[in-house]
Structure 1
Amino acid sequence: MGLMARNPVRHNCAQPHQCSLDVRMQVMARSPLTKELGPQQHRELDQHLTSWAWAAGDPILLAGEQTQGSYMVASGRARITRDTIDGREITVDIAAPGDVIGPLHTHSSPATDSAWAIETTCALYLPAEALAEVVDAYPQLALAIMRMQQDQLARSRERETAQATSTVEQRVAAALQHLDAKLGQIRQDGSSLLQVRLRRNDVAGMAGTTVESASRAMARMKKTGVIDSGREWIAITNHQALADLVAGL
């Protein structure tokens, strides 16, 4: 609790929150960070965690601030943003339950990205010094951290490569495919609804393009039956066609 109070921004908007033991166990069972641990190890790890909640629009983490730990999203959604050289803020990802927000370090370190609650969001907070302790106790956790860091690096490199080699439509399709894998909910008609309030500039940021270009690409996808969309919602209606767009077919 004392660690949280060191942050002059977060302590004004984060509220202590009571997640049930069942919810905490479910989150740890699905998170890439902890899913390799067994139920008993999850209960032991739970002793190091505290629960916090934010209202829609609240900052969970701000780029550049010194962080004392990391967060595992238990419920809700968070927008991960990054500041560009020219001062713009772009969305680079959407965090969902099981995702980890903040640096996974065993010491205090600066955050590279900001995180904003899209809706009421609850997360489990793991202090950096506690992470150092549990990494020693559970080698699987150290391996999971390495895999997550490698995945983040690979995704960053793929994003840079796509900027130079892929069309806007390919990049927008890839962003939607990524969100579908993480947030898609299959409906009775076979379409997949992305369970998040998604703005056009979120898609544009993840695709590395302008809002206007992303909107045009999505309009073409909607016209050809690849997606359906409305105000802050998107559904994938033809998964094969979306995959073909990503592949440039």
Structure 2
Amino acid sequence: MSANPVRPNCARPHSCSLDVRLDAMAHSPLTRELKPEEHLDLDSFVTSWAWSEGDPLMLAGQKVSGSYLVVAGRVRVVRDTIDGREITVDIASPGDIIGPLETNPSYAVDSAWAMETTCALYLPADRLAEVIAKHPALAVAIVQMQHTRLAQARDRDVNQSAKTVVQRVATVLLRLDAKLGDLRPDGSSLLQVRLRRDDIAGMAGTTLESTSRAMSQMKKDGLIDSGREWVSIIDAQELERIVDGE
């Protein structure tokens, strides 16, 4: 592929329709266990927000008074390091939650930037307790999500000390494939996001140079294809074997 094959999205911020909002709730790990009528009720608690490419949803250190459920678009979540660098720690997509799920205003740990036109549903912190009281299943989902976030942070620390760079890069690619992969007619899976190599480096906890070397070897071995801001997974099974150390 010569041109970037990732699908472009809508050109400007817009108000997401009710159907789009309900679909996002039906697929989000936070709200998918709720019944359709509960999704409708939850919709009365949220407001729809939209951002253009490059706009911040929130900034690290900023006092935030709620959280966002991404409905459409992609969001780069970044963190400042102690040496002044900014690294990507996640790519959020529809169904993901951005911001702290707390009942009181708190301070954002990470910054979140729209990678393209993005729509999200905003739930104020001071309404969260009321929502949980009406929908107890949501409380369970929040606990599970917090546990998942802690486990991912722990795994990231362990991987940095116990896994090779190639294993860490393969892990990131497979995780993104599970969330953003789009199966193509030739059997490959295109990651539907404009992905920079330094995004992958940040999520893998390594340098841009090491990531580029690892991905170049993967491409040479026929495991992936890639170009400017796009990656396609060709052999996911072999990537899984790399992650497992085989």
Which TM-score bucket, shorter chain as reference? over 0.9
Partners of 1:17 and 1:51 within 8 A in 2? no
Deviation track 1:53-74 (CA, whole Å, cap 9, x = no partner) reads: 1111111111111110000000
How many corresponding residue pairs? 235
2:33 maps to what in 1? 36
Q: How far is 1:137 from its partner? A: 1.1
Give the structure 2 partner of residue 63 of structure 1: 60
Residue of structure 2 in register with 1:25 after alignment: 22
Is 1:245 aligned to 2:242, yes or no? Answer: yes
In the TM superposition, 1:9-20 aligns within 5 A as 17-20=14-17
1:196 has 2:193 as partner: yes
Contact 1:16/1:51, CA 8 A, preserved across alignment: no
Q: Distance in 2 between matches of 1:102 and 1:151?
A: 15
Query: What is the SS of the residue equivalent to 1:97?
Result: coil
Aligned to 1:221: 218
Aligned partner of residue 243 in structure 2, secondary structure: helix
Alignment of structure 1 residues 1-249 onto 2, 5 Å = 17-249=14-246
- Rounded to whole Å, the distance in 2 between the matches of 1:190 and 1:232 is 20
Whether the 8 Å CA contact 2:59–2:112 is kept in 1: the answer is yes
Corresponding residue SS for 2:95: coil
**One-letter amino acid of the structure 2 residue matched with residue 207 of structure 1:** A
Query: Hey, what's the Cα distance between the residues in 2 that align with 1:36 and 1:220?
Result: 41
TM-score of the two chains, using structure 2 as the length reference? 0.94
Q: Which amino acid aligns with 1:128?
A: A
Letter in 2 for 1:98: G
Q: TM-score, normalised by structure 1?
A: 0.93
Q: CA offsets, 1:25-63, max 9 Å, x none?
A: 100000011001001000001001111111111111111
Q: Is the 8 A contact 1:179 1:194 kept in 2?
A: yes
Residue 113 of structure 2 aligns with an amino acid whose one-letter code is: W
Report the RMSD for the aligned CA atoms in angstroms.
Answer: 1.0
User: Which amino acid counterpart does residue 112 of structure 1 have in structure 2?
Assistant: V
Q: Spell out structure 1 runs of 4+ moving beyond 3 A.
A: none
How far the C-alpha of 1:186 sits from its partner, in A, is 0.6
Following superposition, the deviation at residue 131 of structure 1 comes to: 1.1
Q: Secondary structure at the match of 2:187?
A: coil
For 1:36, the aligned partner's letter is E
Deviations 1:92-135 (A, max 9, x none): 01000000000000110111111000000010101011111101
- The whole-number CA distance in structure 2 between the counterparts of 1:82 and 1:247 is 28
Question: For the structure 1 residues 217 and 20, does the alpha-carbon distance in structure 2 shift closer, same or farther, using more than 3 Å as the test?
Answer: same
Query: Contact (CA 8 Å) 1:91, 1:205: kept in 2 or not?
Result: yes
- CA offsets 1:128-178 (integer angstroms, 9 cap, x no match): 111111011111100000011000000000000001100000000001011
- C-alpha distance in 1, partners of 2:33/2:103? 20
On the 8 A contact 1:71/1:125 being kept in 2, the answer is: yes
